[in-house]
Structure 1
Amino acid sequence: MNFIIKKFNDLTLEELYSILKARNKVFIEEQNCPYMDLDSLDQNSYHLFLKEKNEVIAYLRILKKGLSFKEISIGRVLVLKEYRKKGLAYKMVLKAISFIEKNLNEKEIRISAQEYIKSFYKGLGFKEVSEVYLEDNIPHIEMLYKS
């Protein structure tokens, strides 16, 4: 299982298209949440993903400090429905944490997690640091990881 990490400008057109397709499939179609996915943050982010048969099946982006929060951040975490329950999300977030600590020399990561999945992030070392709030009509909570 080889996760790929690339800066925006290093993505091929096919990879970018597959990433956007996966994000639309999960966040807009599956979660029935019409929101502006193309938020102009991708260009200054790292993109971590797993492909199978040239299709992105798991994805997240790593946002530089100051884009979403004062700390570095992880967002748009997804695994396509047919690939869930295989531990891919856990392995992918661990890979992101390792990359952030080793390659970006950062010790803190702040996320805006959907509330229903906060226990998943707690299992990875994140702690709740806010009250629940609505983001795109979905309950979220800020969580912070410190190494």
Structure 2
Amino acid sequence: MNLKLDWRFQTFDELANEELYQILRLRSEVFVVEQRCTFLDADNKDQKCHHLSGYLHGQIMAFSRIVPPGVSYEYPSIGRIVVSAQGRKSGFGAELLNVSIEKAEQLYGKTPIRIGAQLYLKKFYESFYFRQSGAIYLEDEIEHIEMTRPVL
């Protein structure tokens, strides 16, 4: 895979203050401001996760967190998947998901991976072999579905 972004993969304790600030700002810009969701992003899971951040010229463009099994689901999961508005339509979302899957498999081996996906992104996630594994549910007034990627 030809990577466009510079990737950092860190535990919570390895994140520098500035890195954590950029991550939280990106998540807030997209999930709270752009999508108009009032929710507590700081959910006490970040401390247990690995954090994947993609940078372009020193600016964060993409982020996800790799959640250990038993924290959100029985399987490892990928959460807080986000690409900055400036980084969309540049292939950063696909790159982020490919690298996230790779990192989850490095940490936890070949095992199913679960996500809670916004429904409008279902086809995007299906292109990475995720399949709907739960009913549609509302989270912060946005339709979501649980999706699982089987062992390939």
**TM-score range normalised by the length of the shorter chain:** over 0.9
- Partner Cα distance (2:33, 2:52) in 1: 22
The residue aligned with 1:127 is 131
Match of 1:95 among 87, 93, 99: 99
The CA deviation at 1:137 is 1.4
The corresponding residue for 1:43 is 47
Q: Which amino acid in structure 2 is aligned with residue 50 of structure 1?
A: G
The equivalent position to 1:64 in structure 2, one of 63, 68, 74, is 68
Answer whether contact 1:62 1:75 (CA < 8 A) is retained: yes
Q: TM-score, with normalisation over the residues of structure 1?
A: 0.96
* Percentage of identical aligned residues: 37
CA distance in 1, matches of 2:142, 2:74: 23
Residue among 126, 136, 140 paired with 1:136: 140
Structure 1 residue 53, shift from structure 2 partner: 3.9
Paired position in structure 2 for 1:84: 88
Gap regions ≥5 residues in structure 2? none
Q: CA RMSD in A?
A: 1.0
Residue-pair matches, total: 147
- Letter of the 2:132 counterpart: E
For 1:16, the equivalent position in structure 2 comes to: 20
Classify the secondary structure of the residue corresponding to 1:65. Answer: coil
Quote the offset at 1:52 in angstroms.
2.8
Q: Is the 8 A contact 1:3 1:92 kept in 2?
A: no
2:116·2:146 contact (CA, 8 Å) conserved in 1?
yes
Question: What secondary structure is seen at the aligned counterpart in 1 of 2:9?
Answer: strand
The amino acid across from 2:81 in the alignment is: V
Post-superposition offset of 1:56: 1.5
> TM-score of the superposition, structure 2-length normalised?
0.93
The Cα shift of 1:106 comes to 3.9
Counterpart-to-counterpart distance in 1, 2:139 and 2:99: 26
Which of 112, 122, 130 is the aligned partner of 2:116?
112
CA offset at residue 47 of structure 1?
0.5
